[in-house]
Structures are given as C-alpha cells and as structure tokens.
C-alpha cells in the first residue's frame, strides 16, 4: 500500500513538472511567434511606404494611402506595446492586422503608380503639342502681321508728297 | 518717323517673347529649379494645444496630458518614428553636436506618416507610480505612457540649486531612410523638465 502511494506521488510530481515545462515551452513559442510577427509587420510597413513614395514620385495622389499607412503604423505600435506587457496573442493579432493593411497599401500604391505614369506621359505629350502648335501659330501670325505692316508702311512712304521749303524772305 | 529696320527689331523682340511664353510649359519639363530648404518640425504643446500650462510639478497617480506634433517640409511624404523617453537628471539627452540619439530605451513609439506640407499631432498622456523619496533621493519605479504601463528604475538626487527632484520627459524624431531601409535619428528632440513631488 505504502509502495503504491509513493508511486502515485512520484507520478503526480512528474506530471506537474511535465505540464509546467509544456506551458513554459508553449509560452516561449508564442513569444517567439509574436516577435517574428512584429518584425514581419515592420518590414511590410517599410515596403509599403517605399511603394507609396514611388507612386508619389510618379505624380499620384497618395493622401488616402498615407492615412492607411498611419493605421498600419498604429497597429504595429499596439503590437509592440502588447508584446512588452506579455499579451502575445494581442501582439500577434495587431501585427497581423498591420501586415494586411501594409500589403493592401503596397498593392494600391503599385496600381496608382502605373496609372500616374501613364497619365503623366499623356500630359507630357499634350503639353509638347500645345507648345509646338502654339509657337507655330504665333510665328505665322507674326510673319503675316509683319508683311501687312511692311506693305502699309511702304504705301505710306510712297504716298508722301515732297514739301518744298523756301528760305526767301518776304 | 521710325525707319522700317526699327519696326523689324520691335517685331523680332515681340516674336521672341511670344515664343518663350508658348514654350514655357514645355520648358518646365526640362528645367528644374532648386527646391527650398527641407526640414522637419517637432513640438510638444500643453493640454490646451498651446505652448503653455505644461505639466511641471508632478506626482504619482495623476494623469498628465501634452500633445506631440510633427511637421513635414521635406518635399515628399515621410515615415517618422517619434520615440518617447524618460530620464533622470543624470542620464543623457541626445547629443546635438554628434547628431546621435539618446542611448535610453524608448518607452513608447509613434509611427507617423506625413505628407509634404502637412503636420501630425497626437495626445501623449503619462502618469507615475511607485514614487518614493527621502530628503536627498527620489526613486520612480513605474510610468504609464498612453495607458501602457512600464516598469522603470529611475533615481535622482535633490537638486539644491533648483530645489527639486528633476526628471526629463523627451521625444526624439526619427526618419525612415529608403536607401538604408532603416529609421535614423533625425537630429531633433524636445524635452520637458518634471519636478517629482510626493502627494
């Protein structure tokens, strides 16, 4: 009977120890996961911003994307704070949300950049055409005006009558 | 009466001016004029969004509010990091000469995206916990920033000249550099002195 009780105590101790180790291991894994997710979110945020910057450089209006980036950044801040206070589940959830938002922003920025580049090319051609045609029409009008002016000037010159002056005193 | 050659000069001058006017939109594609000075602003305002009524004499268990803001004049959208740090009187601020950040660990970090010519502002609330003092020594073991609690261990000695136990709450501005793919200290910080008292 005594032998059996010792065995029960021993098994119980082993079970407690094993469950403690399992919980500790699980917590370590969760903490590592959260840390990895936060790093991933940071990278996603930087990439999304770089994409937005490219779109802006191409002439796209990125106001909406900048607001969305702000939301993604907020989520990353919350994730870091949750991680610091040991709330790894919340940290992972916030980091995931940041990654999703950042990916959406990066995709939209890419589309905006393409359409902005195409639009900029069209606008460039329109500008060049306007300038070219404008300069040609202006020069043509100026040449015609010069020809008309010269004719009128010659007519006025030929129509002048010579005046005879006299120095004879009365 | 003017001679025909004189009128020709007038026509040529008018022609040149006209050609420049019509070509100016296209010239803008080729000629790039130098941009103005590029810089960022960083500020802390009091609870009324004004540069007044800043928290100064603080104690444990009371919530304090200031506003932190950033202005972007860098010529394009910018990704800023705004780091909130807390120091005792003997701990270092950022080094303005070397342009390096304070080595203290940030308590809270805002990630801010601001378009060129725009600004951003957000509330910064803070409170203290576990403050102990004697005649010459003060120890702060807890601070909460925007509702997030942090364990700290900041001790400071009595400042006989200014008569108080002084701590500094400061924010540093960091900027994302696309080329190096990292946030770098932007050589700007704002600091406020806090005189710690016991309730």
Q: Where are the domains of chain B?
A: 1-33, 39-196
- Whether the pLDDT of residue A1 is over 60: the answer is no
**pLDDT at residue A170 tops 60:** no
Contact B181/A46, CB-based, under 8 Å?
yes
The angle subtended at Cα A109 by Cα A104 and Cα A111, nearest 5°, is 100
pTM above 0.90? no
A 36-75 residues inside an 8 A Cβ radius of B: 45-46, 49-50, 52-53, 56-57, 62-63, 66, 69-70, 73-74
User: What ipTM describes this predicted complex?
Assistant: 0.80
Q: Which residue has the higher pLDDT, A90 or A157?
A: A90
With a cut of 70, say whether residue A88 has pLDDT above it: yes
Is the pLDDT at A161 greater than 80? The verdict is: no
The values of phi and psi at residue B90, to 5°, are -90, -10
Q: Which residues of A touch B120 (CB under 8 A)?
A: 70
Comparing CB atoms, the residue among B14, B77, B109 nearest residue A77 is B109
Query: How many Å lie between the alpha carbon of A8 and the closest alpha carbon of chain B?
Result: 43
Query: Long-range contacts: A132-138, Cβ < 8 Å, 24+?
Result: A132/B26, A134/B22, A134/B23, A135/B18, A135/B19, A135/B22, A135/B23, A138/B15, A138/B18, A138/B19, A138/B22
Q: In chain A, how many domains are there? A: 1
* Selection from A48, A43, A70 nearest residue B113 by Cα: A70
Across chain A, what does the average pLDDT equal?
87
What distance in Å separates the CA atoms of residue A35 and residue A28, rounded to the nearest whole number?
A: 10
Q: How far off is chain B from A11, nearest CA to CA, in Å?
A: 40
Tell whether the model's pLDDT for residue A25 goes beyond 70: no
The nearest CA of chain B is from the CA of A43 a distance in Å of 9
pLDDT at A2 over 60: no
Domain that residue A89 falls in: 12-119
Per residue in B48-94, pLDDT (tens digit) is 999 999 999 999 999 999 999 999 999 999 999 999 999 999 999 99
CB contact under 8 A, A73 and B111: yes
Q: How many helices (H) and strands (E) does chain B have?
A: 1, 10
Comparison of pLDDT for A10 and B47, the residue scoring more: B47
- What is the rounded average pLDDT for all residues in chain B? 93
Q: Residue B199: what pLDDT?
A: 63
Q: Which pLDDT does position B91 carry in this prediction?
A: 94
Q: Which residues of B touch A79 (CB under 8 A)?
A: none
Instruction: State which residue of chain A sits closest to B120, comparing Cα positions.
Output: A70
Write the CATH number for A23. Answer: 1.20.140
Residue A78 has pLDDT above 90, yes or no: yes
pLDDT grade, residue B30 (50/70/90)?
A: confident
Mean pLDDT of B3-29: 87
User: Considering the domain boundaries, does residue A26 fall inside one?
Assistant: yes
- Interface A:B, Cβ pairs < 8 A: 88
∠B186-A37-B121 over CA atoms, to 5°?
A: 40
At A5 the pLDDT is: 80
Cβ-based interface (< 8 Å): residues of B facing A = 4, 7-8, 11, 14-15, 18-19, 22-26, 29, 76-77, 79, 108-115, 120, 148-150, 176, 178, 181
Q: Does residue A95 lie within any of the structural domains?
A: yes
CATH number among 2.40.240.10, 3.30.565.10, 2.60.40.10, 3.40.50.720, domain B39-196 = 2.60.40.10
Task: Report if residue A78 sits inside a domain.
Answer: yes
Is A135 part of a structural domain of the chain?
no
- What band does A7 get if pLDDT is binned at 50, 70 and 90? confident
- The pLDDT confidence band at residue A121, using thresholds 50, 70 and 90, is confident
If contacts are CB pairs under 8 Å, which of residues 110-129 in chain A contact chain B?
124, 127-128
């Amino acid at each position: 009977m005594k032998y059996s009780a010792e065995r029960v105590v021993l098994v119980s101790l082993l079970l407690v120890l094993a469950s403690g180790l399992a919980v500790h291991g699980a917590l370590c894994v969760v903490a590592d996961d959260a840390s990895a997710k936060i790093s991933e979110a940071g990278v996603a945020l930087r990439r999304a911003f770089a994409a937005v910057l490219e779109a802006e450089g191409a002439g796209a209006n990125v106001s909406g994307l900048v607001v969305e980036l702000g939301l993604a950044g907020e989520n990353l801040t919350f994730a870091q704070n949750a991680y610091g206070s040991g709330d790894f589940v919340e940290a992972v959830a916030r980091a995931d949300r940041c990654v999703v938002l950042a990916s959406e922003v990066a995709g939209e920025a890419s589309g905006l950049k393409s359409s902005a580049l195409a639009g900029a090319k069209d606008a460039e051609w329109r500008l060049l055409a306007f300038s070219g045609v404008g300069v040609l029409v202006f020069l043509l009008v100026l040449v015609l005006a010069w020809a008309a002016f010269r004719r009128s000037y010659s007519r006025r010159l030929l129509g002048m009558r010579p005046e005879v002056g006299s120095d004879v005193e009365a | 009466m003017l001679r025909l050659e004189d009128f020709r000069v007038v026509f040529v001058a008018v022609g040149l001016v006209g050609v420049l006017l019509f070509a100016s939109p296209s010239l803008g594609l080729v000629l790039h004029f130098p941009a103005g000075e590029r810089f960022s602003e960083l500020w802390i305002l009091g609870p009324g969004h004004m540069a007044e009524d800043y928290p100064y004499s603080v104690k444990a268990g009371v919530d304090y509010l200031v506003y932190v803001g950033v202005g972007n004049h860098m010529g394009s959208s910018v990704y800023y990091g705004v780091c909130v740090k807390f120091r005792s009187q003997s701990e270092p601020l950022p080094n303005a000469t070397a342009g390096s950040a304070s080595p203290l660990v940030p308590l809270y970090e805002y990630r801010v995206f601001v378009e060129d010519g725009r600004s951003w502002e957000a509330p910064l609330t803070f409170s203290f916990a576990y403050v102990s003092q004697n005649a010459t020594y003060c120890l702060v073991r807890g601070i909460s920033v925007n509702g997030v609690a942090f364990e700290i261990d900041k001790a400071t000695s009595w400042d006989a000249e200014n008569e108080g136990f002084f701590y500094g709450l400061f924010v540093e501005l960091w900027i994302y550099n696309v080329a190096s793919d990292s946030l770098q200290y932007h050589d700007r910080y704002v600091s406020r002195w806090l005189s710690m008292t016991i309730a």
